[in-house]
Amino acid sequence: MISERVDLFKLNVANLLEPVSALFEPLRKTIVENIEWDGVMNLAEKYTFTNWIAYGAGPVTLGFSAVMLSLGFFELGNVYGLWNQSWIEYGFKSRKPRMEAHEKTFARVPWKKQVMTEFANIGFPGGVITALGSGFLLPLVVKLPTEALPTFSDFFITFFFGSLICDFGQYWGHRIMHENAWLYHNVHGVHHQIDTPSVVSTAYVHPLDSFLQVSLPSLAAVILTNMHPVTFAIFTFTRVAENCFDHSGVNHPLINAICLKFLPLRSSIQHHDEHHKYSSYVGKGKNYGEGFIIWDFIFGSIRKTTAH
């Protein structure tokens, strides 16, 4: 019954978006005519119709790839000085204070420890457990796909509403771990040892923290939108990459463009950076949201930015 209502809702939205979809028709024809489509379709069919890959190993592997590519991207930019004038600072305008703050953080939580914890959470054993769990659970509760690739309208509809659902779940998972003393001291407090975040500290979290803020909201988004496996894969990659970017401490036009931070109701990188700096405590903190700022506005947890 729920599945039928979701399909009806998606159909109604698709009808509303039909004029927009028509704009993409020339692009679609160009892609179909210029790509070895048989090879793409064969690959898509193997991916989509192999449940343990489509709902388990595939998204988890792409999430791991998002972290690795983000690390490489920011390290390369750092080597070439691309971020020199873009570090988020509090009361300072030079690069030095941010670097000194990083050094203090690494003295408290060594770089190697952060990296090893990150690999444990997104690789082994965390990533493997997540892949096995979602690969087994999701095919039992979602409507399995009949097409190897989603339509344009289905992709955009489920991606957008899935993002809202996931971000809403992440907001409350995050907030609960701040307002429950036991969860903060024993779970979320691990991540808040990092008061000056960097990309390498993104997945420096307790496994239960990762489940409450990442796995559970993502599963809810897939189930509630009947998300196609290919959409799920792209959704996972972009969601994890944005989380890495939100921990970068860099406010640069290139990054804001990649993450579409210029769109209405999108949260800035400063938004999460300030959460680390000013909300490392039990109780009613600020700036819990990551993808969208709307939840902090609605539920009264927004903080006026002081960073530059």
The pLDDT of residue 1 is above 60: no
pLDDT digits (tens, 9 = 90+) for 191-236: 999 989 999 999 999 999 999 999 999 999 999 999 999 999 999 9
pLDDT band of 308, cuts 50, 70, 90: very low
The structure tokens listed for 210 are: 């990762």
> Measuring CA to CA, which residue among 219, 241, 220, 222 is closest to residue 231?
222
The pLDDT of residue 279 is above 60: yes
The pLDDT of residue 307 is above 70: no
pLDDT digits (tens, 9 = 90+) for 96-108: 688 888 899 999 9
The pLDDT of residue 10 is above 60: no
The pLDDT of residue 120 is above 70: yes
**Poorest-pLDDT segment among 7-21, 62-76, 165-179, 236-250:** 7-21
CA separation, residue 115 to residues 118, 119, 123, 198 (Å): 5, 6, 11, 11
Region 176-186: mean pLDDT is 96
The pLDDT of residue 62 is above 50: yes
For the chain, how many residues are written? 308
For the chain, what are the domain ranges? 51-141+155-298
